[in-house]
A and B are shown apart, each in its own frame.
Chain A
Amino acid sequence: MDTTVFVPLDEGTDPTVGGHAGVAAVRARKLAKTYGRGAAQVRALDAVDVDFEAGRFTAIMGPSGSGKSTLMHLLAGLDSATSGQAFIGRTELTGLGDKELTLLRRDRVGFVFQQFNLLPMFTAEQNIMLPVELAGGTVDGEWFATLTRTLGIEDRLEHRPAEMSGGQQQRVAIARALIARPDVVFADEPTGNLDSRAGAQVLSFLRRSVRELGRTIIMVTHDPAAAAYADRVILLADGRIAGEITDPTPEAVLAGLDALRSLEGPVDGLDGDATSQAGA
């Protein structure tokens, strides 16, 4: 599409990538993470600066080892950064203790996992309510009804995870992530374990929950087709922001990835993954 812009970035660029008018729900400033020591040291994330606006659906893309998962873990307060800062709203995550991080996740962050990670002994309804109950709050019945209706799981509420299909489980997981109205929802390869039809459904629901319910979602994926559902795609390579696509199409995303490859040389894994997903 015409609006699609591919902007290769280098060191000197303005730190706030994008520069859209929206309020940043999540921000990273010179965020870095290294694993190991000495010769074995790996820079998983190298001084990343990025903003994610509230009320938008952003995808983080990149080949395996590009640092996209690490970035997400740091932004979600699941892991601690080696240096730099991460913010959710006005709260700086770096420097918070385990307990504060846990409570922050409970109250302000939602998660959707590749493996769904529902509790097998609880029904769908109990799974959805869990975050609110853990926080000691009461469930907003109207919001619960809206969510389950939007996600199409109203008739599955009494079922346990083992009695549901993968797509249904993931939709329950999305409801669980949204029930507490978190500031931001992180989705990690939400379609990785689903067939393409169920995957497409889940992605539509994610997009609807942004457009119709006003939520903020950050999704990590290596599937260009999935990334195309987002409002904006951040491209990551070698632990750095390598580019960004606004209002992407699958073709634009693929083109962006190709451009990455021509810049950085062939990247193992990306090629096969991208084509197989595109072909599916």
Chain B
Amino acid sequence: MLRLTLAQMRRSIGRLSAAGVAIVIGTAFVAATLLGGNLITRSAFDAISAQYARADLVVSTSATFTPQTVDTIRSTAGVAQASGMVQSWQGLVGGDRTIFQQVIPTTPDPRLMPLVLSKGAWPTGADQIALPPDVATRLSVGVGDTIGLQTHGSDSETQTRRLTVTGLVDDPRNAYGGGGGAAVMDVTALDALQKADGGELTYREITVLLADGASLPSVTAALRDAVPHASVVTPDEHAQAVAQRLSGGQDLFFLIFVLTFAAIALLVAGLVITNTFQVLVAQRTRTLALLRAVGANKRQVGAGVLLEAGILGVVSSLIGVVLGCGLGQLALTIAGHTSAAAFLPHSISVTWAVVVIPLLVGVAVTVLASLVPARVATRVAPLAALRPADGPTLEKGSAGRVRLVLSVLVMVLGFGLLALGAALGTVGGDAQMGLLAGIAGGALSFVGVAVSAVFWMPRVTSWSGRLVGLSGPTARLASANTLRNPRRTAATSTALLIGVTLVAMMSTGAASARTSLTAQLDQQFPIDVAVDALGDANGAADLPANVVTAVNQASGVRAVARPKSASLVVGGIYAAADGSIGLTGDGTVPTPQNQVSTPVVGIDPAQAKAVLNDPSLVKDVEAGSVVVPSFQAYQWHLTDGSRLTLTGPTGPVTLTVVVDDGGHGIGSVLLVDQADLLRADAHPAQSSMWVALAPGDLSAVSAIQDAVGDTGAPVTVQGAAVERASYETVIDTALGIVVGLLGVAVVIALIGVANTLSLSVLERRRESATLRAIGVTRGQLRWMLAVEGMLIAGVGAVLGIVLGLVYGWAGSLAGLGVMGPVVLSVPWRDIVLAAVIALVAGLVASVAPGRSAVRPSPVAALATE
């Protein structure tokens, strides 16, 4: 039987390899994922163990060590040197930037220092520092220059000390790469800084070097005695434990997340395999019948098909593993030439799991996928061997009624749950239950859709085919062809449908989330970007000049308003001893100690209206009136039309109160016309900028944030656009990753389209030759196959897009409904892109089959056999 199977496989090698490619891609995906998981664990381990440099032992504790512990360890027999590990963060100032930088101390022995000097010298004095090269670049300094070190004096006022840069340090083993590198200061100087900051000097870990000839076990034992309640292990053991603690959850999450997509890819690969084997069995009907006629039993015939699938699975999976490892290594090699090089090992680590798991999964998928074709093979009657070879006939689309009923039930149940999920999310306000019901319903209904595809997909294809057929006889031939094997066409389209549905769902969900959040943010924040200097106890501070310049020059800024602000004394009230507000009407005369001051913002109404998302917010601001937030008005016993006196350094102004009961206003400040503010305070602070951005352009946000970050000044940047920029980055990144991972499934499905087409071409050799004989040109025949490919791919893609829209909307309703009204949007760009890609892919998939279809001479049509 094995010899026969191998012989048959040799005959169908072309068809099998096309199907094998699907499994190769799927298993390569799994192998690469597992390698990635290994990489995460290993780079965490490497980074941690690198910090201990060439130490022999690491002493660690869950509490803290004092400098005395270090001394105790140093005096233990067999210990050559010990060093307390310190990681402190210091504010370094250079140019107009302030960088918070990790700083480690020099070590008593160079073997305990994980960093190496690339230029200059190690710091030795109190006013010296060595910097990582990129930090030196950002601070615009070189060796010999000075930088500032921010320190806090006894009165907690920030002071700046000058430090000389003595050298540049490299981090070859990436010990501190995760924290942005580390600068080095002399151990005494850093200890002093630590003491000034926090008082006590403590360590979590102490690295130990053994004296020459000392034995590791005996020193370990001695240290365990000397330092009770501490763990004394080698750096590798320590790093292993820490890495597991740190990344255990992380790499598991990564694995589950990515393997989900690998599973989808393999499912699609399974569909492609099923299709291929079904065709193979159909083409071998005569051989199979002959086998049955000469005495093979049903079991043997079925087992032959499964054996073939098993062999294909093993070979493809092995190739997949090799490919996955190769791609992993390639990625590492390429990454080795980028800035990420320091974080990554030079070669992949192939564990048994990386080889065995993809192999098992690949073989299992292939064999499972061939179960149905194997059963079909057992149904071949011995008599079929005696019948003349018929031309290809129409397949009888007789899928079971049970299947129809079950899949419809599952679909109804699934879509019901999906609707329930959406209802729970919006009306019920329970996002968690809504999402849960939605996901369950989505998965269930999708299974129903995929399983029932064989019933309705041919019909949809037929309608689309009829539409396409209007364009001419070639297209009509193509659409008729797609209907002759409804099951095969349905399975091929379904494979594509799966990937496209998921991509469209993600894209729709992301688009809906984007629009919904944007709508909500516009309500929540009246301004796109508000830049505010925080000020201090003495009142508002002016915005630094360079921030103002940066904002004004940032591209994408549509308009800027400069409100002025001052802290003014509120007339008519006083703060009682218990903090409550009293009215001066009761006879109390406010003293400077108990008078109430409040921030008052003066705006130019026209300027403000230009930058506000809702100009009506400032409609009541005009000369002679003051807009008071409703809660403040309530507290101060003010109503519309009351007169309020505000007093500043320049003098008092009395204004008519307008209570803002909109509930939002612009912060909790009083709003007045700028001219009125100047009458109270002739020199108000210019602490804010209200910025309106050009629609759809968020690039200014990061420009403003960078400018503010560079100054290091205490300035906040907030507003609708700021929020939008941050979550849009998150949404876009997440969407990009998910779509990229789903892309693998789509690619496999497209291979399936090509596979189906080439199988059809093989089956229709005589027919193609007939068409050529009666006057179909080569080009027409190729175009016929192209239309066929585009029809199969197009139907899968369009249905996938429609389904994806439904799922995406339901998911948005279920998950986002709790946050406010959900705006359902259609990601037109992505949808058009998906459809175009599917059509082009269908076209491309027909190229190779088309070539083999036109190659034989039409004479073949006249041949008898």
Given A117-B767, A119-B480, A121-B480: A133 in contact with B862 (beta carbons within 8 A): no
- Within the complex, which residue of B766, B776, B857 is in contact with A134, where a contact is CB–CB below 8 Å? B776
Q: Which stretch (B170-178, B390-398, B433-441, B579-587) binds chain A?
A: B390-398
Chain A, Cβ-Cβ closest to B485: A121
A162 to B391 alpha-carbon distance, docked (Å)? 10
- B468-483: CB near A (< 8 Å → 1, else 0) gives 0000111011001101
CB under 8 Å from chain B, chain A span 75-134 = 76, 78-79, 98-99, 102-103, 105-107, 109-111, 113-115, 117, 119-122, 130-131, 133-134
- Within the complex, which residue of A99, A111, A162, A188 is in contact with B774, where a contact is CB–CB below 8 Å? A111
Chain B, Cβ-Cβ closest to A129: B473
- B740-770: CB near A (< 8 Å → 1, else 0) gives 0000000000000000000000000011001
Q: Is the CB of A69 within 8 A of B394?
A: no
Write out the residue numbers on chain B whose beta carbons fall within 8 Å of the beta carbon of A133. 473, 476
Q: Is the CB of B394 within 8 A of A121?
A: yes
A69 to B857 alpha-carbon distance, docked (Å)? 14
A79 to B859 alpha-carbon distance, docked (Å)? 7
Q: Is the CB of B773 within 8 A of A105?
A: yes
Q: Is A73 an interface residue (CB 8 A)?
A: yes
- B138-150: CB near A (< 8 Å → 1, else 0) gives 0000000000000
A130 to B772 alpha-carbon distance, docked (Å)? 12
A134 to B777 alpha-carbon distance, docked (Å)? 10
Q: Is A240 an interface residue (CB 8 A)?
A: no
Q: Is the CB of A134 within 8 A of B774?
A: yes
Q: Is B864 an interface residue (CB 8 A)?
A: yes
Q: Is the CB of B774 within 8 A of A106?
A: yes
Q: How far in angstroms is the closest Cβ of chain A from B421?
A: 43
CB under 8 Å from chain A, chain B span 831-865 = 857-859, 861-862, 864
Q: How far in angstroms is the closest Cβ of chain B from A164?
A: 12
- Within the complex, which residue of A78, A119, A160, A192 is in contact with B773, where a contact is CB–CB below 8 Å? A78
Q: Is A27 an interface residue (CB 8 A)?
A: no
Q: Is the CB of B862 within 8 A of A103?
A: no
A215 to B270 alpha-carbon distance, docked (Å)? 55
Given A120-B393, A192-B864: A102 in contact with B778 (beta carbons within 8 A): yes
Q: Is A176 an interface residue (CB 8 A)?
A: yes
A90 to B182 alpha-carbon distance, docked (Å)? 92
Given A117-B861, A188-B862: A105 in contact with B766 (beta carbons within 8 A): no
Write out the residue numbers on chain A whose beta carbons fall within 8 Å of the beta carbon of B862. 69, 73, 78, 113-114, 188
Q: Is the CB of B767 within 8 A of A119?
A: yes
Which of A133, A134, A162 has the most C-beta atoms of chain B within 10 angstroms of its own C-beta? A134
Q: How far in angstroms is the closest Cβ of chain A from B486?
A: 11
When A and B form their complex, what is the total count of cross-chain residue pairs whose Cβ atoms lie within 8 Å? 88
CB under 8 Å from chain B, chain A span 3-55 = none
Interface size on A, as a range, is: 35 or more
Q: Is B724 an interface residue (CB 8 A)?
A: no
Q: Is B775 an interface residue (CB 8 A)?
A: yes
Q: Is the CB of B775 within 8 A of A162?
A: no
Write out the residue numbers on chain B whose beta carbons fall within 8 Å of the beta carbon of A76. 773
Q: Is B119 an interface residue (CB 8 A)?
A: no
Q: Is the CB of A79 within 8 A of B857?
A: yes
Q: Is A255 an interface residue (CB 8 A)?
A: no
Q: How far in angstroms is the closest Cβ of chain B from A73?
A: 5
Write out the residue numbers on chain B whose beta carbons fall within 8 Å of the beta carbon of A99. 777-779
Write out the residue numbers on chain B whose beta carbons fall within 8 Å of the beta carbon of A189. 864
Write out the residue numbers on chain B whose beta carbons fall within 8 Å of the beta carbon of A103. 775, 777
Q: Is B562 an interface residue (CB 8 A)?
A: no
Given A115-B864, A117-B770: A98 in contact with B391 (beta carbons within 8 A): no
Given A102-B775, A134-B776: A73 in contact with B859 (beta carbons within 8 A): yes
- Within the complex, which residue of B392, B775, B778 is in contact with A131, where a contact is CB–CB below 8 Å? B775
Write out the residue numbers on chain A whose beta carbons fall within 8 Å of the beta carbon of B643. none
CB under 8 Å from chain A, chain B span 438-486 = 472-474, 476-477, 480-481, 483-484
A107 to B770 alpha-carbon distance, docked (Å)? 15
CB under 8 Å from chain A, chain B span 658-685 = none
Q: How far in angstroms is the closest Cβ of chain B from A136?
A: 8
Given A103-B777, A131-B774, A134-B775: A78 in contact with B394 (beta carbons within 8 A): no
Chain B, Cβ-Cβ closest to A102: B777
CB under 8 Å from chain A, chain B span 760-811 = 766-767, 770-780
Q: Is the CB of B773 within 8 A of A111?
A: yes
Cβ contacts A to B, 19 pairs, < 8 Å: A73-B862, A78-B858, A113-B773, A114-B862, A117-B391, A117-B766, A119-B477, A119-B480, A119-B767, A119-B770, A120-B391, A120-B767, A130-B774, A131-B775, A134-B473, A134-B775, A134-B780, A188-B862, A189-B864
- Residues of chain A whose beta carbon lies under 8 Å from any beta carbon of chain B: 69, 73, 76, 78-79, 98-99, 102-103, 105-107, 109-111, 113-115, 117, 119-122, 130-131, 133-136, 160, 162, 176, 188-189, 192
- Residues of chain B whose beta carbon lies under 8 Å from any beta carbon of chain A: 391-394, 472-474, 476-477, 480-481, 483-484, 766-767, 770-780, 857-859, 861-862, 864
Sample of 4 further A-B pairs with CB below 8 A, known A78-B859, A114-B864: A73-B859, A111-B774, A120-B484, A121-B394
